[in-house]
C-alpha cells in the first residue's frame, strides 16, 4: 500500500520540475545611469566643468554624455568530430584429458571451448552556428574609470503589434575609439554584453511549453 503514495509523490515532483519557468531577460530592468550632478555656481556666471572652448574636441567622454554604438556583430562557428574503434579477440580452450584419454560424450569433446569477441564503434558529429546583428543604439556614459576607460550602458525598447523588442548593450570603451560624430563600432566595445530579446505573443509562440521542457530536461530518463 506504500507504493501508491510514493508513486504519486514522484509524479508530483516531476510535474513541479516541468513547471519550472526560465527567467525572461526582457523582465530585468537595468539600473538607471548615474548622471553628473549639477555643480553649484557660487554666484559666478561660469560654472566649473561647463565651459566650451573654441578648439576643444567635443567627443563624448564625460559621465552623462551620449554615444551611438554601431552594431556590426557577426560570428560563425563550426565543429566536426569523428571517432572509430575496433577490437577482435579469440580464446580457444582444448579438451582436458583424463587418464591419458580425452573426455568425450557421444564421441564429442564437450569440454573444449572457443570464444570469439568482436567489438567496434564508429561515431561522428558536427555542429555549426552563425549569428548576425546590425543596427545602432545610443548609450550613456555611466562612469569614467581611473585608467581612462568609459563605462557605457544603453537600452532600446520597441513596441510592435505583437509584442516588444528589447535591445541592451553595456561595456567598456576607449575615448580614442570614439569618432568625431560620437559614434563607435560595437567591435571596439570591451567586455560587451549585448542582449536582443522579445516579449509578447511572438516570443511566447517561439518558447517551449512546460511539458516539452520536461522531456528535454535532465530529469527525463530516456
Give per-residue pLDDT as tens, 113-168. 677 778 888 888 888 888 888 999 999 999 999 999 999 999 998 887 777 888 99
Average pLDDT value for residue range 38-58: 59
Per-domain residue ranges for the chain? 80-126
SS (H, E, C) the chain: CCHHHHHHHHHHHHHHHHHCCCCCHHHCCCCCCCCCCCCCCCCCCCCCCCCCCCCCCCCCCCCCCEEEEEEEEEEEEEEEEEEEEEEEEEEEECCCEECCEECCECCECCCCEEEEEEEEEEEEEEEEEEEEEEEEEEEEEEEECCCCCEEEEEEEEEEECCEEEEEEEEEEECHHHCCCCCEEEHHHCEEEEEEEEEEEHHHHHCCCCHHHHHHHCCCCCC
Residue 53 pLDDT more than 70?
Answer: no
pLDDT at 1: 47
Structure-model confidence comparison of residues 184 and 60, the more confident one: 184
Residue 189 pLDDT more than 90?
Answer: yes
Tell me what the pLDDT averaged over the chain comes to.
Answer: 76
Question: Looking at 4-13, 14-23, 77-86, 185-194, which range is the least confident one?
Answer: 14-23
Cα 55 to Cα 45, 47, 50, 108, 179: the distances in Å are 21, 19, 15, 110, 17
pLDDT at 51: 55
pLDDT at 90: 80
**CA dihedral defined by 176, 68, 31, 171, rounded to 10 degrees?**
-40
Average pLDDT value for residue range 17-38: 53
Cα–chain center distance at 74: 15
Nearest to 153 by CA among 25, 34, 58, 57: 34
pLDDT at 61: 84
Report the distance separating Cα 196 and Cα 131, nearest Å.
Answer: 12
Residue with cell 574609470: 145
Structure-model confidence comparison of residues 103 and 62, the more confident one: 62
pLDDT at 120: 84
Report the distance separating Cα 68 and Cα 78, nearest Å.
Answer: 32
Q: 178 pLDDT band (50/70/90 cuts)?
A: very high
Extract the C-alpha cell encoding 179: 569618432
Average pLDDT value for residue range 23-46: 56
Supply the pTM of this predicted model. Answer: 0.56
Contacts of 56 (CB under 8 A, 6+ apart): none
Amino acid at each position: 500500500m506504500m507504493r501508491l503514495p510514493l508513486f504519486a509523490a514522484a509524479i508530483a515532483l516531476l510535474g513541479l520540475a516541468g513547471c519550472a519557468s526560465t527567467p525572461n531577460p526582457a523582465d530585468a530592468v537595468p539600473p538607471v545611469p548615474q548622471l553628473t550632478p549639477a555643480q553649484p555656481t557660487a554666484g559666478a556666471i561660469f560654472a566649473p566643468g561647463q565651459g566650451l572652448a573654441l578648439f576643444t574636441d567635443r567627443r563624448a567622454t564625460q559621465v552623462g554624455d551620449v554615444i551611438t554604438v554601431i552594431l556590426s556583430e557577426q560570428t560563425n562557428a563550426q565543429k566536426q568530430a569523428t571517432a572509430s574503434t575496433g577490437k577482435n579477440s579469440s580464446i580457444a580452450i582444448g579438451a582436458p584429458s583424463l587418464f591419458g584419454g580425452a573426455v568425450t560424450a557421444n564421441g564429442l569433446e564437450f569440454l573444449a571451448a572457443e570464444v570469439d569477441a568482436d567489438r567496434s564503434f564508429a561515431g561522428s558529429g558536427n555542429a555549426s552556428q552563425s549569428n548576425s546583428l546590425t543596427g545602432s543604439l545610443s548609450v550613456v556614459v555611466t562612469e569614467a574609470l581611473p585608467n581612462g576607460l568609459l563605462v557605457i550602458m544603453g537600452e532600446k525598447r520597441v513596441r510592435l503589434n505583437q509584442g516588444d523588442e528589447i535591445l541592451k548593450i553595456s561595456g567598456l570603451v576607449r575615448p580614442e575609439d570614439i569618432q568625431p560624430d560620437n559614434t563607435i563600432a560595437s567591435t571596439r566595445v570591451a567586455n560587451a554584453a549585448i542582449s536582443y530579446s522579445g516579449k509578447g505573443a511572438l516570443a511566447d509562440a517561439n518558447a517551449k511549453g512546460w511539458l516539452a521542457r520536461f522531456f528535454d530536461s535532465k530529469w527525463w530518463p530516456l
